[in-house]
Amino acid sequence: MSNYEVTEIGASDQWREHFGGFVPARSRDGRRVVDHELAMQYIGMTSNALIPGEEAGYWHTHSKAEELYVFLEGFGQIGLDDDVVDVGPGSVIRVGQGVWRTWRARPDSPGELRWLCIRAAGEELPRLPDDATRDLERPMPW
């Protein structure tokens, strides 16, 4: 067996059809917890979609994990402690441990706010990866 897995989460315009969450009682439309479907050990990822005017409805913080929000479509805002940051396509926000966060799709967004949330916890990564090996002689498969 190979040490990789493949899944399909669909195009971002299909993400609103997903229903999920970390706990069944708090699952919602527009969320898919991809790391519950794959054997991910050190990182986690959700795909998310909110309709204009929809919000998370809660704040949360992490004591171990940091999160990376990668916004792909739509316009929204993310609350970070006492700050509100506008987000849109191309916005990438790292949120460290102990920072309170919440988010919403702006009511005037022309479409759904769609983003990936990538979570990681554990050892600090080196600035330059020190575990990579290159093979310049191996032929490309295409």
pLDDT tens column, 129-139: 777 787 889 89
User: Distance between CA 38 and CA 17 in Å, rounded?
Assistant: 20
pLDDT band at 26 (very low <50, low <70, confident <90, very high): confident
Place of tokens 């986690």: 44
The amino acid sitting at 80 is L
| Residue 72: DSSP 8-state | E
pTM for the model: 0.83
Number of residues in the chain: 142
Distance of CA 57 to the CA centre of its chain: 17
pLDDT the model gives residue 73:
97
Angle at 75 between CA 7 and CA 47, to 5 degrees: 15
